[in-house]
Amino acid sequence: MGGPSALSSPPPHFLRKKERILELLAVPDAEYNDASPKGSVDIGIRELIGEINALDGFVTTSSCAGRVSVFVEGRKTRDSETLEAEGSDAPRPATVAAVGGKGGGGTWLFVSHDPVPESEEEDVKRLLGLCGSIDYEADRGDSARGTPKDTRLVHFKFEPMILHVLTASLDHAQLLLRAGLQAGFRESGAVNVTSATAEAVTPIVAIRSMGLSFESLVGIQEDGVTKCTVSKDYLYSLVRIANERFEENRKRIERFRNAILDANHPPKKKDGTEWEDAQARRERKRAEGLRRKAELQEQGQKKENATEASDETLDSPVNTDLI
């Protein structure tokens, strides 16, 4: 695919959707809210979001710059004993936790979209939201507690950037996907590539990479009591790995940014002029030819007028009174 001249103009229904999305993004941070734990666009990706949204045929619908988190998974089942203890009129959660622990009333203990401090002087448990948790090994000998009725796992997880972009056509989606794959976001893909109506398709592209993700179980919560199941040294190791992934994630984001901007803005040639594909060159040459033809016609008309004016002067009668 060549430069932007190869892309079709965005259809009207895409432009309407883009306008509505940009209106929401223009809301001040204090008033903006989304479904993420942070509730707003990440600072680390805000500039990229603005650059993509400034391009014709693209608008971001959701994003995350990358994050490290510690969370307690939600409840996976509601057994009969729990229902009886809570009473039949007790409110029931709308969902149960899926594989991985999300949903079902899970709790975020820690979320950061930036590298985590690695100083050994820091209390890593306090830093990761595990302050107040008890040591699991020390608590195992307490048999008086009996079998817990509610057991949930505590996860430490790093997730790289994920970006969802609404595109104006299949060609726009292909350009974006190519940029993502070249930058290292290997699991990128697109949905809504067909349409059941007469409207042109407007695919949604997900730029993502599972290769940088990693997850580790660091604790367990039994009947509301959080217990850390790993050592501080292990937690420090997880933090170091996450920070290394943050740096690689940053490099991939920059490569993606350069790829999508270069694809939409033709690069400069050695003489400083913009590169153009064959179609753009033909159009430019045609316009130059028409302009040159008009200039020659104008010059010819001026020369013809000047000749006629000279002939009229030569044919005019001589005033003999001055001889």
249-259 pLDDT, tens per residue? Answer: 999 999 999 99
- pLDDT score at 61: 95
Residue 146, judged by CB atoms within 10 A of its CB (0-12, 13-18, 19+), counts as exposed
Cα gap 85→88, rounded to integer Å: 9
Dist CA 37 CA 106 (whole Å): 12
Report the DSSP beta bridge partners of residue 217. 155
Q: What is the mean pLDDT of each run of 10 residues along the chain (323 residues)?
A: 64 94 77 54 88 95 95 74 50 54 77 87 84 67 68 95 96 96 96 86 95 95 91 94 97 96 71 58 76 83 74 57 48
- Euclidean distance between CA atoms 34 and 42, whole angstroms: 11
CA-wise closest residue to 252 among 305, 174, 186 = 186
pLDDT of residue 269: 57
Helix (H) or strand (E) holding 167: strand 162-167
Task: Give Cα 238 to chain centroid, integer Å.
Answer: 26
Contact residues for 260 (Cβ-Cβ < 8 A; gap 6+): 52, 55, 175, 176, 179
For residues 249 and 195, what is the distance between their CA atoms, to the nearest angstrom? 34
Parallel, antiparallel, or unpaired: how do β-strands 58-64 and 134-135 relate? unpaired
Rounded-to-integer distance, Cα 135 and Cα 237, Å:
18
Q: Which of 57, 55, 56, 63 is nearest to 24 (CA)?
A: 63
Instruction: Determine the pLDDT at residue 134.
Output: 76
The H helix count followed by the E strand count for the chain is 8, 10
CA distance 62 to 35: 10
Q: Quick one: the chain helix, strand, coil %, rounded to 5?
A: 40, 20, 40
pLDDT score, position 179: 96
For 81-134, the pLDDT digits (tens) are 444 545 555 555 555 555 555 556 789 999 999 999 887 666 889 889 888 777
Q: How many residues does the chain have?
A: 323
Is 136 in contact with 231 (CB distance < 8 Å)?
A: no
Structure letter (DSSP) for residue 186: T
Among residues 312, 200, 187, 305, the alpha carbon closest in space to that of 252 is found at 187
R_g over Cα of the chain: 33
Q: In sequence order, what DSSP letters do the residues of 67-119 get, joined into one string? A: EEEEEE-------HHHHHHH-TTSPPPS----TTS-SSS-EEEEEESSPPP--
Residue 81 confidence (pLDDT): 47
